[in-house]
Chains A and B, each alone.
Chain A
Amino acid sequence: MSRGRLSARPALLLFAAAVAAVAALAGQGAPAESHVVIFHNNDVHGKIDNFAKVAAILEAERKSGADVFYLSAGDNFTGDPVIDRADPPGEPMIEILGRLHLDLLSLGNHEFDYGLDAVRKLVSRFPTTSANIQPEPGVLPGLKPYVVLTGKSGVKLVVFGIIQIEPGNGLPSTHPDKVKGLRFTEPIAAALSLRKLRGEGQVFIGLTHIGHDQDVVLAKQMPELDVIIGGHSHTRIDAPELVNGVLITQAGSDNQFLGRIDLTVRNGKVAAKTSRLIDLSKAKDEDADLKAMIAKFHEDPAMARVVARSPIEITGKNALGSLMTDAICKVFNLDVAFQNNGGIRVNKLPLAITYHDLYTLDPFGNQVVRLEMTADEIRGLIRASCERRREIDLQVSGLTYIVRENGTQRIQEIELRGLNGAPLAEDKTYKVGLSSYVASSYRFAHKEPGRTVGITSVEALIMYLERRPDLGAYAEATRALYVKPPAPQAD
């Protein structure tokens, strides 16, 4: 901490005291002028390491004369096994945010990934807002459409949250089972219905989780707002952005940056506003207690817990790929699933399979994508997968296939058979599961663009193993063959 900051504090405190005294004399609830500092982050996704630095920054500022707030624009959960696999999931994040004295949370779509019990814990622990979530009675008690935060000077911030929904199903981007008992309305309309709150405080804020593009749309329609603090799109807004007079900001993702907004509130309204991002990789000070707490979370033996025991060591791409694709088929009730060999990162699973083993096997965090595909479209995917290397690249569940080359090193035929050995029906549409990597990087024609199911492939595998399938069945699991014509005999 610099000497300059220390010496500046008494002056700031005196200034704050004077401002408060003027306000009290004026008989108003809020001071004639106050300096509001809002720290914010979004889309932390379980990355906890920089929170010791965040704590030091918050602590230093809270000792100043300013009204200091710390807000989250959602998606604190999901993205790191330390948080995802904690018992119960998300608990370390809740403890850390508690230590940081989080003033307000706007729910993001990934807050729902661990189920409603985890969300209830968040809502019971922190003031939480989302104006476009309408829970059935008793489902999420405590969730507010908006919250009024009062600073130590008496300044009032009226803050509402909104969460993104998918145009297709009207739900946030998470597994639909995770949001049962909740109704979601269109977020911008929900925000606009709160215009009247402008007069309830000196500062009016949208703490949104709808993505930056939609934040711009909101700002254009709602000039009553002073600030929009966004999330969801992982946008790094380095310099202040004003749209229709509304300051829009967002702090990237993964706890790499801490957002800071400085407001001057004068005579009941915001007279000046600016924002910037603090690059946490360059921050030096750390809160020692929180640093120790974070280190302890990393030592959590949760990753060493055994998920399943197998009678055999499941070995090789064929067997491991069969297991991974069966998981996708069974967990999501699909007809067919594919897994690329490049996404299978170990050659063997031990008899006692731990979370660590599974995250090592499938470390990329790829989402499962569900598509409707015809047999011909499936052939197109298989063709695209093995044309480059002239070998099997996609492991499969729900069918078997044989790729046959002709004499010119080109694919002549792809034979698809169902699990009963009969040729796959050509006139049917199949529910197919792919990893987001395969769905986005393999070049194949398909009419239906597909949709993520809100769960990663490794999570699907864990869910499958928790059902205790017969793992002995993966001793021999070749389901795809690439047949090349015999090499011509030399004379």
Chain B
Amino acid sequence: MQIKVNGQPVEIFAGARVEDALRKFSRDEWRQVKSGRKSVRDGHGHVVGLDGELSGGEELVIAAVAAAEPRS
């Protein structure tokens, strides 16, 4: 299935989770999200967990965590 991470298409196996898509996109970005320095949001702007299950066509956006934003 294909999803988009930061606007770029990522081809990933069916049943993948957010974490898998981030790793496929960039291991460095994945590590930053895992450590809490960055967060990942869906195409609607909501924070999603690394274990979140994906379907084809979804969008993810990686962004730096704002100072006041709680880490998930």
Binding site for B on A (CB under 8 A): 43, 45, 79, 109, 164, 166-168, 173, 211-214, 216, 232-238, 241, 250, 252-254, 256, 279, 367, 369, 371, 436-437, 439-441, 449-452, 454
Given known A367-B15, A450-B13, contact A235–B23 (CB-CB < 8 A): no
Q: Are A369 and B72 in contact (CB under 8 A)?
A: no
How far does the alpha carbon of A168 sit from the alpha carbon of B15 in the complex, in Å?
10
A452 neighbours in B (Cβ, 8 Å): 13-16
How far does the alpha carbon of A161 sit from the alpha carbon of B56 in the complex, in Å?
22
B13 neighbours in A (Cβ, 8 Å): 369, 371, 436, 439-440, 449-452
Question: Is B7 on the interface with A (CB-CB < 8 A)?
Answer: no
Besides the contacts A166-B15, A235-B47, A452-B15, what 10 more A-B pairs have beta carbons closer than 8 Å?
Answer: A45-B51, A167-B1, A213-B43, A213-B55, A213-B57, A213-B58, A253-B51, A253-B52, A440-B12, A441-B30
Partner of B72, one of A109, A237, A256: A256
Question: Is B18 on the interface with A (CB-CB < 8 A)?
Answer: yes
B72 neighbours in A (Cβ, 8 Å): 236, 252, 256
How far does the alpha carbon of A411 sit from the alpha carbon of B14 in the complex, in Å?
31
Closest chain B residue to A210, Cβ basis: B55
Question: Is B37 on the interface with A (CB-CB < 8 A)?
Answer: no
B29-55 with Cβ < 8 A to chain A: 30, 42-44, 46-49, 51-55
Given known A213-B58, A233-B42, contact A436–B14 (CB-CB < 8 A): no
Given known A166-B15, A233-B42, A371-B13, contact A252–B49 (CB-CB < 8 A): yes
Given known A234-B48, A253-B49, contact A212–B42 (CB-CB < 8 A): yes
A214 neighbours in B (Cβ, 8 Å): 55
Partner of B55, one of A211, A238, A254, A439: A211
Interface of B, secondary structure class, is: loop
How far does the alpha carbon of A447 sit from the alpha carbon of B15 in the complex, in Å?
17
How far does the alpha carbon of A308 sit from the alpha carbon of B23 in the complex, in Å?
34
Partner of B11, one of A45, A109, A371, A449: A449
CB of B71 to closest CB in A, whole Å: 10
Q: Are B47 and A252 in contact (CB under 8 A)?
A: yes
Given known A212-B42, A279-B70, A449-B1, contact A235–B14 (CB-CB < 8 A): no
Closest chain B residue to A79, Cβ basis: B51
Closest chain B residue to A167, Cβ basis: B56
In the assembled complex, 19 residue pairs joining A and B whose CB atoms fall closer than 8 Å, in A order, are A168-B14, A211-B54, A212-B42, A216-B44, A233-B53, A233-B58, A234-B51, A236-B46, A236-B72, A241-B44, A250-B46, A254-B49, A254-B51, A436-B17, A440-B16, A440-B24, A449-B11, A452-B16, A454-B15
Q: Are A450 and B14 in contact (CB under 8 A)?
A: yes
Partner of B23, one of A234, A238, A441: A441
B21, B46, B51, B56 pick with most chain A CB within 10 angstroms: B46
A109, A234, A279 pick with most chain B CB within 10 angstroms: A234
CB of A304 to closest CB in B, whole Å: 27
How far does the alpha carbon of A213 sit from the alpha carbon of B42 in the complex, in Å?
9
Closest chain A residue to B1, Cβ basis: A449
Q: Are B70 and A235 in contact (CB under 8 A)?
A: no
Q: Are B53 and A211 in contact (CB under 8 A)?
A: yes
Q: Are B12 and A236 in contact (CB under 8 A)?
A: no
Q: Are B44 and A212 in contact (CB under 8 A)?
A: yes
Closest chain B residue to A211, Cβ basis: B55
Closest chain A residue to B47, Cβ basis: A236
Closest chain B residue to A367, Cβ basis: B15
B56 neighbours in A (Cβ, 8 Å): 167
